[in-house]
Structure 1
Amino acid sequence: MKKGLKFLFSSLLLLSAVMPTFQATTVSAQEELPAQVQALRDAGVIRVGIKEDVPYFGFLNPDTNEHEGFEIDLARLLAEEITGSPDNVEFTGVTAKTRGPLLDNGEVDMIIATFTITEERKETYNFSDAYFTDQVGFLVRSEDGYTDLASLNGKTIGVAQSATTKQKIEEIGAEDGLAFKFSELASYPELKTALTSRRIDAFSVDKSILAGYVDDNTEILEIGFAPQEYGVATALSNDELAAYINDLINQWLEDGTLEGLLAEHGLVDAAAEETEEDAE
């Protein structure tokens, strides 16, 4: 009996010694969380600007009224890390023209919407490292017989408002003495309709975006140029949040998480594709 009481007393002493250590570690971990990230955790939700008209990336399915796509899944991963649940995310549909202003006025915490990283944009927003790389391409009517950039010389090309596409086309065209007319529209569905109704001769944006608009009467030209790197954008003042997100993006790039998500949505990273071709 004495041995039993002695053993019980020793166990209680050991337990009391361990418990404070565990509690101190937990509190310390909470204190180390960046203040801007902790604010989102306390709010219990992250507000994300996403595309709703880009199949495979960010799309509002009219049949289910649910958001779906690679960038939607990426947003849910971030929500799980920051708030503890992938469901704690509030989506706001954006276009190339509206995504910047929504971030500027604080209506969203971050933008995950095929937002191309450029040096000019980095003066206004924080960007994570690229989670996907694409190329600019052209969607044309199959019957028109366009084959390359030269065959589009003098034609009208439809591009999204506030996108970098027009500038990139002008730059590469100038190298070969080519010139184009442009029609800038607000959304991708409008651009596809303009192509179908023959108001434009080609619809140009990143090739992965164009893939969602191909039908029996259209095709994407094989040419691709001006690599477009997509990053998660946050307000320039949210440097702590930006650094936290960037660490997660790089972790998921290294451990294959993002590669798996891309495969689920049938997407191929242009940078990875070029690396494989160089290896061959």
Structure 2
Amino acid sequence: MGDVDNGEPAARPSSPPSWRLPRQFAPEIVRWLLRNPQPPAPGEPEPTAEEIASQNIAQQEVIQEVISEVEREMVVDREYRFKVWRLAGLGLLIVVTLAVALGKLLVGGPPTVAELREQAGVDTWKELRIGVKDDQFGTAYYDPATRQWSGFDIDIAYMIAEDLGFRRSDVRFYGLESEDRARMQATDPAEASKRVNVQLVIASYSITPEREAMTGVTFSQGYLDTEQSVIALKGHPKISTLEDLAGKRVCTLSTATSKSALVEFGADVVQKNRVRECFAEMDAGQVEAISTDAAILAGWKYRFPDKYTHFDLGIDPKERWGVNVGENLALKELVDLTLYRSFADPDDNRWEEAFDRNFQVEVEENGSSPIAEGQQPLVERPNVRWMPWEDPLR
């Protein structure tokens, strides 16, 4: 009887398990076969010496090719494994380096902006109180008729306030006298007898070593370069140098850097707390001229072009204005950060716009007399820590 088909597939014969000779052992086995040739089968004649020699040569050539190929594969395999391990080691090194760098950023080094804000106390302030001058046309002037503030210092103050997170409506300006810039106190316009402590002083305050050594004075980096000049009533003989003021009564501001140069050349110096007091003295014939920063005098010449003449003294040393933050060192870094952004970011035109709006318009009326340099002073990058993915200029 035939086999009965029960519908199930016939079982396949099991195949012997596959076995592969490790490549590293192949050359040694081949060499052993060469040293131990197989004897002839029973009944076969013994090969002659020539046949044995010829057969051995052929076997050696074939076997040598096998050995060479195996050895080449072993070399390639070793090179591949070396490259893999080298790449793995390089990757591990990069990961460790990044981890160390990130750890330093997160743990050590300079403070972050957030840490500086906390140290300065900025986030606890409901308003920003700034001490400024109030009688310097083009620099910082308060118009009592309109109750509006204007001038280059006012624009710089708004620029800093913006970066600190304050709206314009949160900024409070207080007029102060020159001698109050170091003590950072101003008078409350609503109550003349009340003194107000301000958080910033932006008041045509020149940076000098003597002022930096004073208690309670810490300057930001500079935000404007100007120079000393002189102004007199129209029709006054030309004043070319400080020597022309020898023996003459000349008014300047109290604590002003202009005083030392005037005294050196023999001027009879009268000091006032506000520049408008100096102009009142000159209008009344009590002093012959006024000498202080050119950026201040240019504004008065621009406002009263037919009344005054502005002269260039040709003094080389610059007067560089800075912001006084008192003893709040963290606030200094934040102010410097704003000035750095304004200087370094080509898309930040706030400084240039402030200059054009307040000083550039005064050039025609002042002629060849100086006002201020039309380029923001160099600002070094402040000591602030940024994450690698952060942009310090934004």
Question: Aligning the two structures, in what range does the TM-score lie when normalised by the shorter sequence?
Answer: 0.7 to 0.9
Partner residue, 2:118: 35
Which structure dedicates a bigger proportion of its chain to strand?
1
- Conserved? CA contact 2:251–2:272, under 8 Å: yes
Q: Give 1:1-280 correspondences, 5 Å limit.
A: 31-37=114-120, 39-102=121-184, 107-124=197-214, 125-149=217-241, 150-171=243-264, 173=265, 179-214=266-301, 215=304, 216-225=306-315, 226-236=317-327, 238-255=328-345, 256-267=349-360, 269-270=372-373, 272=375
Aligned partners of 1:111 and 1:68: how far apart in 2?
16
The DSSP-based 3-state class of the residue aligned with 2:225 is: strand
1:31 CA drift (Å): 4.9
Q: TM-score, normalised by structure 2?
A: 0.56
Deviations 1:59-117 (A, max 9, x none): 00132011111111221222222234232111111121122223599801110000000
* C-alpha distance 60-44 of structure 1, shift in aligned 2 (>3 A): same
1:265 CA drift (Å): 1.4
One-letter code aligned to 1:129: Q
- Conserved? CA contact 1:76–1:87, under 8 Å: no
Aligned partners of 2:135 and 2:229: how far apart in 1?
17
Identity of matched residues, %? 22
1:272 CA drift (Å): 3.9
Aligned partners of 1:242 and 1:209: how far apart in 2?
25
Aligned partners of 2:150 and 2:376: how far apart in 1?
24
- Conserved? CA contact 2:116–2:331, under 8 Å: no
The DSSP-based 3-state class of the residue aligned with 2:227 is: strand
Aligned partners of 1:82 and 1:232: how far apart in 2?
14
Q: Could you say which structure has the greater relative contact order, defined with CA pairs below 8 angstroms and 6 or more residues apart? A: 1
Question: Over the residues paired in the alignment, what is the CA RMSD in angstroms?
Answer: 2.4
Q: TM-score, normalised by structure 1?
A: 0.78
Aligned partners of 2:113 and 2:318: how far apart in 1?
40
Aligned partners of 2:240 and 2:162: how far apart in 1?
44
Higher Cα Rg, which structure: 2
One-letter code aligned to 2:227: Q
Partner residue, 2:74: none
1:252 CA drift (Å): 0.8
- Conserved? CA contact 2:232–2:288, under 8 Å: yes
* C-alpha distance 68-183 of structure 1, shift in aligned 2 (>3 A): same
- Conserved? CA contact 2:184–2:326, under 8 Å: no
- Unpaired runs of 5+ in structure 1? 1-28, 174-178, 275-280
- Conserved? CA contact 2:258–2:291, under 8 Å: yes
1:220 CA drift (Å): 0.7
Partner residue, 2:88: none
Aligned residues: 238
- Unpaired runs of 5+ in structure 2? 1-111, 187-194, 361-370, 378-394
1:190 CA drift (Å): 1.1
